[in-house]
């Protein structure tokens, strides 16, 4: 069962106190991060002039596709003949962060109608499964795809009633909040795998 808002909050307070600040994630290394501190105030970063787009992973010989090289079996939550659902190897700040990939090297916009239909059905089931876990408020799902050209759709679960963690900044909190217990995270992954496998495919190792 995912942790409650009270359990997450208590862990943060134990680390930094009630009004304390958690450690800064390495956003200073992200030159795409849009905010910067100027004279003690947060301000939008200066906009760089236009330039050529960088090739994404899988679009250049020196940037091979990691997904086509094979999914690490230790990260596979569920799979069938066409799709693979993975996690990122260890707990992070949010209760569950999963990505769904086609086995073939395809991006969104390149799927057949059948593949697109499968993606829609799996998305709908997965959101229902995770949102029905105790203490989960919502699952945000998105495809960004600016880094890798092999489709990877995100499923980002947030804790119910932890109402500071809301909306599109939820993903930033994943790097800020201290990760929860690994045994809780693994039990939730097993529940997701079992419930998805009720429709088809199989859970990972
Ligand atoms: Zn690929």
Ligand 1 center from residue 183 Cα (angstroms): 31
Ligand 1 center from residue 111 Cα (angstroms): 13
Is the pLDDT at 164 greater than 80? The verdict is yes
Ligand 1 center from residue 19 Cα (angstroms): 44
Is the pLDDT at 29 greater than 80? The verdict is no
3-state secondary structure of 11: helix
Ligand 1 center from residue 152 Cα (angstroms): 10
Ligand 1 center from residue 66 Cα (angstroms): 6
Ligand 1 center from residue 64 Cα (angstroms): 8
Ligand 1 center from residue 60 Cα (angstroms): 12
Residue 9: name the closest of 1, 139, 168, 20 by CA. Answer: 20
Ligand 1 center from residue 18 Cα (angstroms): 45
Ligand 1 center from residue 125 Cα (angstroms): 24
Hey, what are 88's tokens?
A: 């990122």
| Cα 82 to Cα 114: distance, rounded to the nearest angstrom | 11
Ligand 1 center from residue 148 Cα (angstroms): 8
Write the CA distances from 156 to 24, 40, 88, 139, 167, integer angstroms: 20, 32, 12, 5, 11
Average pLDDT over residues 30-43: 84
Is the pLDDT at 33 greater than 90? The verdict is no
Confidence of residue 36 (pLDDT cuts 50, 70, 90): confident
For 192, counting Cβ atoms within 10 Å of its Cβ (0-12 exposed, 13-18 middle, 19+ buried), the class is buried
Is the pLDDT at 97 greater than 80? The verdict is yes
Of 78 and 34, which is predicted with more confidence? Answer: 78
Determine the pLDDT at residue 114: 97
Ligand 1 center from residue 99 Cα (angstroms): 14
């Amino acid at each position: 069962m995912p942790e409650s808002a009270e359990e997450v909050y208590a862990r943060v307070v134990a680390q930094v106190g009630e009004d304390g600040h958690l450690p800064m994630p390495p956003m200073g290394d992200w030159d795409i991060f849009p905010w910067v501190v100027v004279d003690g105030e947060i301000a939008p970063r200066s906009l760089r002039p236009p330039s050529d787009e960088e090739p994404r992973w899988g679009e250049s010989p020196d940037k091979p596709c990691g997904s086509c090289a094979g999914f690490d079996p230790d990260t596979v939550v569920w799979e069938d003949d066409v799709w693979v659902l993975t996690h990122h190897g260890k707990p992070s700040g949010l209760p569950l962060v999963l990505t769904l990939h086609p086995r073939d090297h395809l991006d969104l916009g390149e799927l057949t109608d059948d593949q697109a239909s499968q993606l829609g059905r799996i998305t709908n089931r997965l959101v229902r499964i995770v949102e029905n876990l105790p203490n989960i408020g919502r699952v945000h799902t998105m495809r960004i795809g600016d880094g890798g050209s092999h489709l990877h759709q995100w499923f980002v679960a947030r804790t119910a009633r932890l109402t500071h963690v809301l909306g599109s900044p939820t993903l930033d909190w994943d790097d800020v909040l201290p990760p929860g217990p690994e045994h809780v995270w693994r039990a939730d992954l097993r529940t997701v795998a079992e419930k998805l496998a009720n429709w088809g495919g199989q859970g990972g190792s």
